[in-house]
């Protein structure tokens, strides 16, 4: 068999660790999603019980949100829905399940520290 008639193969391979569930922050469930709202919720509760809150959404495409409870400790559900409605919902279609990375960072500026010297040490108690 001449070299030109030989079959050549090329293989590309990539792998990585996967955490279950494959999202950590928010999952957007649209109407007519292939797994169904109840199927996704029950699967998630099996994998990580009590870690996600289910929020029903009044929207023409989005049916529900699964939000990590740690996010809800930092930001209210109505505020999260407002942000997603503006930034995410316009880009989703019926039948999709969309993973959203949603990080909340809290910072404070100019905190007043009473009973502390200018160099940051506690002031002596003169009682």
Strand locations in 26-107 (E)? 26-30, 52-56, 62-68, 97-100
Q: Name the pTM for this structure.
A: 0.71
Flag residues of the chain having pLDDT under 70.
Answer: 1-3, 17-20, 120, 126-127
Coil, strand or helix at 95: coil
Query: Over the stretch 85-109, which tens digit does the pLDDT of each residue have?
Result: 999 999 999 999 999 999 999 888 8
Q: For residues 89 and 119, is the Cβ–Cβ distance under 8 A?
A: no
Strand order in the sheet with 52-56: 52-56, 62-68, 26-30, 97-100
Cα 4 to Cα 31: distance, rounded to the nearest angstrom: 53
């Amino acid at each position: 068999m001449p070299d030109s008639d030989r079959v050549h193969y090329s293989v590309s391979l990539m792998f990585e660790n996967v955490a279950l569930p494959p999202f950590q922050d928010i999952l957007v469930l649209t109407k007519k999603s292939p797994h169904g709202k109840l199927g996704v919720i029950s699967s998630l509760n099996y994998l990580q019980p009590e870690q996600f809150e289910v929020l029903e959404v009044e929207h023409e495409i989005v049916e529900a949100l699964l939000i990590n409870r740690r996010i809800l400790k930092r930001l209210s559900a109505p505020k999260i829905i407002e942000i997603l409605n503006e930034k995410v919902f316009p880009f989703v279609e019926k039948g999709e399940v969309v993973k959203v990375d949603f990080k909340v960072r809290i910072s404070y500026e100019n905190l007043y520290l009473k009973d502390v010297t200018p160099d940051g040490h506690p002031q002596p108690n003169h009682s």
